[in-house]
Chain A
Amino acid sequence: MIDWSALLRRGAVVVLALAAAVTEARGQAAARTDDEPLKVHVFTFEHQSADDALGEIRPLFSDRGSVELKPSGDTVILRDRRGELDRILRTLRDFDHPRRALRLEFQLLRAHKVPFSPQQLSEGVSPALVQRLKQVLRYDTYESLADVGFRSEEGEQVAYDFGDDLGMEFRVGTVLQDSRVGLKNFRVLRRGEGGAALAVLHANLVVRLGQTLALVLMRDEAAESALVIAINCDSVAEPGD
């Protein structure tokens, strides 16, 4: 006859033994890791901005790691354990690719509420974009104020005037993981009567390549109108790609 009770007890012994062994092994591994000496690596950027890279690699450091940016601005000194350092260096080498060309398109729209108008016309704006905006916003008409597209590249400083009293400026960041790019220090400038430019918006933006980013700028939710900046950014195929 099978002694179930004894079998179950021995099963418990096996479970406990495995759990204890795993815990012990992990504890020993952790202890070894804490004792591991730190490595130092100096990395010099050839193509991209070291400033932009810091935000990407910061999460990869262990609690013992550190990074120091040299005054020259293109060199960082990295300290961490070998495993973390390897991952950080792989990320940096991918990050520091030759500057890529990009196609940027900006569309400036004015959105209005027209409560009594039977016809809600939107002039000069892509119907698909208007339809999408209407799904989210409660504005009735969308008027195109300006539309511009141009070629730029990573790291380039861009300034553009939409008209006499509205403009924007930013620096094109680094394309990350072939999927997104930052528009650094993105400012929307409005000029007052004296001609002095006032930054009504100052932000760091992230744009997905091939996707539209629509910024809707408004005073508050009850505002009768809003400004919409639709941004498109995509890679430009280089000869030989």
Chain B
Amino acid sequence: MHCTQARRLLQQGDAAAPGDRDAALDHLDHCGECAALAPRLDPVLLFRRLPELAVSAREVERVRDAVSILRRAPADPQPPRVAGMAFRFAAAIVAAAGLWLAPGPPRHEPRPPQSAPEARLAGPVPLPEYLASVETLGASGAYVATQVSEDDLTLVILANVDVAGR
């Protein structure tokens, strides 16, 4: 297919016959000039060939660390920002791909409305305000067996302490 013909078909967008459009898209894979011009002919083609993601080894390592942290602490309400960026970006790509492949609106007769189950939210969950009352312990062998923290009292049980002198 010649460049002129391909550009004309691409400019037609969805109006072009599917076979012709596919042939024009194949032409883009082999013609850099047309590929560069394609987004101006049809903006949808801007992301037809996404550039290869340039991800450094350091970034991969940081994301991997973030994932391992999430595995250790699944209830952590604030995952690391790097992981959040990566997941948001991935979610955006997946969502966009889903939209791209969507066949369009359903063409069936509307059904009568059904009563959907009522959504219930658990409500805000208070985060525990934890403060270690024993920061460090010396080499006496003592250890913190339990810590109970309330508003007006923190109780720490220290075991393996030789207090039998009295």
Contact = CB atoms under 8 A, between A and B. Distances in A.
B partners with A: yes
A123 interface: no
A5 B162 contact: no
Interface string A1-21: 001111011111101111100
Interface stretch (A39-47, A90-98, A99-107, A207-215): A207-215
Most buried by A among B85, B92, B153, B165: B153
A156 interface: no
Interface stretch (B25-33, B70-78, B136-144): B136-144
Interface string A52-85: 0000000000000000000000000000000000
Interface string B69-102: 0000000000000000100110011011101101
Nearest to B13: A6
A211 B93 contact: no
Contacts of A221: 145, 159
A23 B85 contact: yes
Most buried by B among A8, A180, A190, A212: A8
B117 interface: no
Contacts of A212: 152-154
B46 interface: yes
Contacts of A9: 44, 99-100
A214 B153 contact: yes
Contacts of A198: 162
A-side interface size class: 35 or more
Interface in A194-241: 198-208, 210-221, 226-227
A231 B28 CA distance: 77
B163 A190 contact: yes
Nearest to B135: A204
Contacts of B162: 190, 198, 200, 219
A200 B161 contact: yes
Interface in A26-46: 26
A68 B26 CA distance: 62
Given A5-B103, A8-B102, A163-B166, 6 more contacts: A5-B14, A201-B140, A202-B138, A204-B134, A214-B156, A219-B160
26 contacts: A5-B103, A9-B100, A13-B43, A13-B46, A16-B93, A17-B46, A19-B93, A23-B89, A26-B85, A132-B153, A136-B155, A166-B165, A188-B163, A200-B140, A200-B142, A200-B162, A201-B142, A203-B135, A203-B158, A204-B136, A205-B133, A208-B154, A210-B152, A213-B154, A217-B163, A227-B161
Interface of B: 13-14, 43-44, 46-47, 85, 88-89, 92-93, 95-97, 99-100, 102-105, 131-140, 142, 145-146, 148, 151-166
